[in-house]
Structure 1
Amino acid sequence: MDAAEQKLEVIRKLLAKAERAATPGEADAYNTKAAELMARHGVDSAMLAAAGGNVADRIGERRIALTDPYSTEKAGLAGSIAGAMGCRAVRHLGRGRGQTAAVTVMGFESDLSRVELVFTSLLLQASRAVVRQRPPAWTGESTAAFRRTWLAGFTVEVSRRLEDAQKGAVAQHDAAAASGTASAALVLADRRTLVEHAFQERFANLRAGRSRRLSGSGYSAGVEAGRRADVGQPRMSGARRALDR
């Protein structure tokens, strides 16, 4: 197991501990540490590759299969995590109405590994929590609509936390770096540009998907759940649609 794999294993163990935590406070402690380590690992991997120390960190792609219920909301979660980690994502529409069959994420291999790790954990956390969500009985609101907006709120909040952790890791690195050392902010910006070019070439015929209008009232509850979550910190062969970010 190399150094990068060892770091991911530490993060994976923190994620598992947060999922099994006995109290919200205990979970928050694991969540915060995991988010910090995840962001620092991303910066370290990028700087190593920029210095020529990791020639294997090339741009690639991973396909993540999705299933109903709420496959489109799950795709949104995957896309938001990908965006927060310097990647791009495209969704593959399923045969059913409003169904998403899979998501393809494109980015540098080290970032793709982070995306997969965090998405797997957050999907598990969200799936466990969303089945317990119901609108107040007096509203007469659809449970499905409430849960869709809950998932939307959850996604927005965990994405914000991941982005904040990334900004913090970049600022910490650049503040401690010696004079004349490459800026992590610039290195990550260059990587995003390379990923964007590769993405546009790979999905040249991509069409932007239409925004969905959600009618449920579970958004705020989803945001609150996203604050507590452990963040570790279009159709192919036809019409293709970009994931909303």
Structure 2
Amino acid sequence: MRAAERWGGRAAGAAVSGACDDRGSEEVPLMTTVDDALAAALYTDDDAALDRGASLLAAAPDADTELARRGEELIRRAWERGWQPADLARLARRDLAPHHIPLLTELVLAECGRYGTLPPRWAVQLDALDVLGGRGGPGGAGARGGRTDRFSYATAVLELYRVLVRLPALEAVGPVPGTPFVAAAGLEPRMLARVRALLAKAEATTFPEEAEALTAKAQELMARYALDEAALPEHRAETPAARRIGVDAPYETAKAILLDATASANRCRAVWNSELGCSTVVGFESDLEAVELLYTSLLVQGTTAMTRAEAAQRAGGRKRTKTFRQSFLLSYATRLGERLARATAAVPAPPDLLPVLATREVAVSAHVDELFPHTSATRVRGATDASGWSEGRAAADAARVHDGGGSSRRGLRGGGTFSPSGD
């Protein structure tokens, strides 16, 4: 679908500008300049059209404030279409140039600064985006990214707005700023601190046995906490939530499999969007927090183990590192899926809690179907490097989760056993 069809062609300029009758007459020429520049540049990929829009803005320095306001409205529209700051950060890293990121960051921070209270987890996402892009607004030195001439600056702004105006709608995984929300309880702060400390030690150690013990202890703590929470009467009325977790290239297929295995082990379900570089994980809040913590740690541990194994391979004269890494991470993810499925099948849930867990599982499945009425299975290409497969399987064994540390009775959804092949 063309961008003009998504937002109404030239009329989109009027849609972004909002009502102008209440503005002073001296502001109308500036608004007209911005309208003309956006109409010329946003709805085509033609470089000549971009240059025409940038020329209009370069000749009107007083239009910068109005131009920034239009950008903030585009950010607001992104929130209403399901986007969150972390989603824009992933987009920035993948599709934007370095000089666009400070512009995006300032627009996001300015738009979010209008609200007294932000939805849960937004503050953390904004901090991460701020670190990625730094501060400095449209017209400011930071936002200009070192570009001092107005034409280059205006071009960068219009290029960014081209991306923002074409953002597709995403599944809503949380409230939009400015709308009412109820913050669901995640992991208890002291429990969260203990789990993070254990996983940090597991990531830092060079001894596989120690990493295994630390990871198993962290999973055990999270599993016991999840069961305790599910047993509390005050949590019976909770409903499933969702959060998007980045699944970045390279080797994103293996990472998506690892996240799916981790989600299934914690009574959640994951749906991968390869185009956007993320998976949406659906479950109850404390389970979602456990999934994100464990997945992040297992990915760090797997990457560290892969780097060490690759170094040993190179020392032996090996040069084909890409196929080795691909096979390593695929084997690592698959083996962890097997172990997590075995662990979750053996978890000793109290008999009186089984109906509660079953009800929660049904609720999670229903919420997945609501968010994603049309999903399809992904065919995964088999590993092609026998050495990488073997090393990845060994690394997964080293990072394994203790058989008593699972948190549900459901095995890895959509899992499978892969073997080295050329398929």
More strand as a share of residues: 1
Distance 2:218 2:283 in 1: 21
Does the 8 Å CA contact 2:257/2:334 hold for their aligned counterparts? no
Query: Are residue 193 (structure 1) and residue 362 (structure 2) matched?
Result: yes
1:5 to 152, 168, 189: 189
Question: Who is 1:223 aligned against?
Answer: 393
SS of residue in 1 equivalent to 2:282: strand
Indicate if the aligned counterparts of 2:187 and 2:286 stay in contact, CA closer than 8 A: no
Larger radius of gyration: 2
Match in the other structure for 1:237: none
**In structure 1, what is the equivalent of residue 273 of structure 2?**
92
Report the secondary structure of 1:68's partner residue. Answer: coil
Query: Aligned ranges for residues 9-20 of structure 1 at < 5 Å?
Result: 9-20=193-204
Kept after mapping to 2: 8 A contact 1:63/1:104: yes
1:63 Cα deviation after fit: 0.7
In structure 2, the CA distance between the partners of 1:163 and 1:8, relative to structure 1 (3 Å rule), is farther
- Report the CA distance between 1:55 and its aligned residue: 5.7
1:147 — aligned with what?
A: 325
Quote the offset at 1:153 in angstroms. Answer: 1.9
User: Are 2:116 and 1:116 equivalent residues in the alignment?
Assistant: no
1:76 to 252, 257, 262: 257
User: How far apart, CA to CA, are the structure 2 residues paired with 1:71 and 1:17?
Assistant: 25
Separation in structure 2 between the aligned mates of residue 92 and residue 25 of structure 1, nearest angstrom: 34
Stretches of structure 1 lacking an aligned partner (at least 5 in a row): 95-99, 175-180, 234-242
Alignment partner of 1:213: what SS? coil
Partners of 1:22 and 1:126 lie apart in 2 by: 12
Is 1:21 matched up with 2:198? no
The amino acid that maps onto 1:227 is D
- Partner-residue secondary structure (3-state), 1:133: helix
Q: CA deviation at 1:161?
A: 3.6
Instruction: Decide whether aligned partners of structure 1 residues 22 and 103 sit closer, same or farther in structure 2, where only a CA change above 3 A counts.
Output: closer
Calculate the aligned-residue CA RMSD, in Å: 3.0
Please give the residue correspondences for 1:130-145 in structure 2 after superposition, counting only pairs within 5 Å.
130-134=306-310, 142-145=320-323
TM-score normalised to structure 1 length: 0.76
C-alpha distance 106-74 of structure 1, shift in aligned 2 (>3 A): same
1:42 to partner: Cα distance:
2.1
Distance in 2 separating the partners of 1:2 and 1:143: 40
Aligned-residue offset at 1:66: 2.7
Q: Deviations over 1:165-223 (max 9, x none)?
A: 4444x41x42xxxxxx6134x43233222211211121112122223233221222212
1:82, distance to aligned residue in structure 2 (A): 0.8
Aligned to 1:240: none
Match for residue 30 of structure 1 among 214, 228, 231:
214
> Deviations 1:141-173 (Å, cap 9, x if unpaired)?
8422222221122112323443444444x41x4
User: Would the aligned equivalents of 1:89 and 1:105 in 2 still touch at CA under 8 Å?
Assistant: yes
Cα distance in 2 for partners of 1:57, 1:12 equals: 25
Bigger relative contact order, structure 1 or 2 (CA pairs below 8 A, ≥6 apart): 1
Contact 2:336 2:396 in 1 (8 A): yes
Q: 1:40·1:166 contact (CA, 8 Å) conserved in 2?
A: no
Contact 2:208–2:399 under 8 Å retained in 1: no
Identity %: 37
Contact 1:39 1:166 in 2 (8 A): no
**Comparing 133-142 with 154-163, which one deviates more in the overlay?**
133-142
State the distance in 1 between where 2:205 and 2:223 align. Answer: 22
Q: What amino acid maps onto 1:70 in structure 2? A: Y
Matched residue SS, 1:197: helix
C-alpha spacing 1:32/1:83, structure 2 compared with 1 (3 Å):
closer
The alpha-carbon distance between structure 1 residues 15 and 57, as it changes in their structure 2 partners (threshold 3 A), is: farther
Whole-angstrom distance in 1 between the partners of 2:337 and 2:189: 24
Mind listing any 5+ residue stretches in structure 2 that lack a counterpart?
A: 1-184, 406-412, 416-423
Give the distance between the partners of 2:399 and 2:223, measured in 1 at CA: 16
